[in-house]
Amino acid sequence: MKLKDAFDEFKAVAFKIGSEEYAFHIEQVISIEKPQPITAVPGMPEHVLGIINLRGNITPIINLSSIFFSGSSSPNSLSQRYIVVKYSEKPIGLVVDEATDVLDIPVDTIQKDTLSDQHSNPYLIGISNLGKRLLILIDVNQLLSSLSPMLHDFSENKILGSVEHETQYSN
């Protein structure tokens, strides 16, 4: 998602991981959910915590802290939320420490040339300077496509498809 395409006129969902603030374009977000029990799936990468049943949809849950900060984990807290986004037409839950607000970000506050190496993190769109707040703008689709192919298999139901198939015929 290019800055001009994604952020001409937009609302963003802001969230925190640790003390840092980030934002996704609101069109990339389906919902914000309170945490619920996660079912672990063997053999998943460290950043995939497992799956949940979200209103009848099997939804992978990914720890953004472990992606952004190389293996560190966010503590569970009462303010922790899952930001559910759509990736390859399937929902994916992203664990954040806190969903702070939905806000309008003026395009003239966004700087994209301040990032040191955009090629190493293609999902970093820019940084918005809102006075006392700096928001790091993230493209969800670029972020998720940069992760392991196993996540793509989740979105295509390749991992769980065989289990669903077996269950369907075992009745």
CATH of the domain at 18: 2.40.50.180
- The candidate with the shortest Cα–Cα distance to 158, out of 146, 148, 171, is 148
DSSP string, 110-138: EESTTSS-TTT-TTEEEEEEETTEEEEEE
The pLDDT of 60-85, averaged and rounded, is 81
How many domains does the chain contain in total? 1
The pLDDT of 21-27, averaged and rounded, is 94
Structural domain range at position 98: 3-169
pLDDT at 45: 86
The pTM (predicted TM-score) of the whole model is 0.80
Does pLDDT of 149 surpass 70?
Answer: no
